[in-house]
Amino acid sequence: MTVDTLSNVSHLLASLGLEADNPGAFAGTWIPTHGERVVSLNPATGEPIAAVHMASVDDYERVAAVSLDAFREWQTWPAPKRGEVVRQLGEELRRHKAELGHLVSLEVGKITSEGLGEVQEMIDMADLAVGMSRQLYGLSMHSERPQHRMYEQWHPLGPIGVITAFNFPVAVWAWNAMVAAVCGDSVIWKPSHQAPLTALAVTRIADRVLKANNAPPIFNLAFGGRAGVGERMVADRRLPLISATGSVRMGREIGKVLADRLGRGLMELGGNNGILVTDDADLDLALRAVLFAAVGTAGQRCTTTRRLFLQKGIAAEMKRRLVDAYKSIRVGDPLEPGTLMGPLIDETAVTNMLKAIDTAQAEGGKVLAGGKRIDRPGFFVEPTLIEATVHMPITCEETFAPILYVFEFEDLDEAIRMHNSVPQGLSSAIFTLNMRSAERFLAATGSDCGIANVNIGTSGAEIGGAFGGEKETGGGREAGSDSWKIYMRRQTCTLNWGTSLPLAQGVEFKVGE
């Protein structure tokens, strides 16, 4: 089937301003693109939805030039006025929530409520950023010198490059773009080659809002792969910050280029998240949380639970309940009510999952549930539970699929050691009703992750807190708290309103004496 014959989605595409073939670069206006033609597939059927032509490096240059000009003007707008534009963008996204959510489900296979949730996250980010636009606070310090005043102020940084992964095709842009916009920056977005359509649709909406406000074109887009646009963008010295979300492999590649040009990087990379369940835990709560965190989004969240540590006293019962629950998970069309797990993103993801299961078995793991591809069109697999030990090297890797490794432990210190023994450090959780165990897990010697929860799973973070992880997860922080600071340039100012020139640290420098 060709994209042109796919009439069942043409109404949806038209309602979002999309066509069967679309240019993949926006520089204040859609520009013709000269790169490869990419057909976005529906992973639930393997059928095409629509095509997008990638930007070439020359096309990217046009986008970057426009974004730089837009930044020069936008940085002069007062931050609360910038916030007002972002408020209107949030309103416009509210109006289009149903269609956008549907497109997210079609393009990346999220179940309906998760597709809608992803758009809601963009709206929440807009609301948060509006508030931030009046709270870009700097500190004021007491100078050691008389009649001097010292303070810090925060200025816009420049055009920001935002590289996103397929699994949060629009929310991650919003985490960055909404905050960067109120900070006075322009944004160039390079979406994943596996999810260009949602990015195009969101860029159209954002552009309408900018034009209605006579604002410069701060939300631009250059769709391309890792080679070409991706690499050019990361090396572009006009972009002081590259925010990159994706695999650890990608982070390593980008990190080297940024280090060479001394650019700023905001890395949101892979996770290998664990949940500990102690003997005293509320097992009903733990079971529900593990299922959502391990199986939700078909295991394709950076915060997906991939490792489960069960204390010996409850291990047998939890495994039995998990196996029963895994067998009852409804896998299928993500847009059908009642489906809990949709497809993987593509054929490669299926192959990688099956390979990981083989490796786990070769290393001594035992499949307790699932383990196979589902025989139907699209990229469907069974959610898989594997009994494992920490000596299995595969359990230290992130396989972006619904595989949950289950371990047993005697005491909490041992569990924390096992939990922290992997190279990634994104999200973690403990299920316990014992206050001492909870605090032990949250202490400095407890979980080594950027996110640590008690009686809540590892995924589904709220935007109010800073989001990100340690170790190979890259150290970046996005969304709430004071994450806005990375999108700005800090300036320390000292002002002398007196008639003498005392030097700091008591240094004397008397000319002519």
CB 197 within 8 A of CB 49: yes
- Residue 163 CB, nearest distance to ligand NAD (Å)? 5
Q: Give the Cα separation of 350 and 346 in Å (integer).
A: 7
- Residue 226 CB, nearest distance to ligand NAD (Å)? 4
Contacts with ligand NAD by CB under 6 A lie at 163-168, 190, 192-193, 225-226, 230-231, 234, 245-247, 250, 253-254, 268-271, 302, 398, 400, 426, 469, 473
Across 213-327, the runs of DSSP E, i.e. the strands, are 219-222, 241-245, 264-268, 273-277, 305-311
Closer residue to ligand NAD, CB minimum distance, 227 or 435: 227
Q: Give the Cα separation of 82 and 406 in Å (integer).
A: 48
Closer residue to ligand NAD, CB minimum distance, 39 or 433: 39
- Residue 250 CB, nearest distance to ligand NAD (Å)? 3
| Residue closest to ligand NAD, measured at CB | 246
Closer residue to ligand NAD, CB minimum distance, 84 or 231: 231
Closer residue to ligand NAD, CB minimum distance, 136 or 171: 171
CB 44 within 8 A of CB 109: yes
Q: Which residues are catalytic?
A: 268, 302
Closer residue to ligand NAD, CB minimum distance, 465 or 502: 465
H/E element, 49: strand 47-53
Enter the tokens of residue 136: 């870009």
H/E element, 419: helix 412-419
Q: Give the Cα separation of 77 and 51 in Å (integer).
A: 37
- Residue 398 CB, nearest distance to ligand NAD (Å)? 6
CB 99 within 8 A of CB 15: yes
Vertex 74 angle, CA 73 and 80, to 5°: 140
Across 384-484, the runs of DSSP E, i.e. the strands, are 384-387, 403-409, 424-425, 427-431, 451-454, 466-467, 470-471, 478-479
Q: Give the Cα separation of 456 and 286 in Å (integer).
A: 8
- Residue 236 CB, nearest distance to ligand NAD (Å)? 11
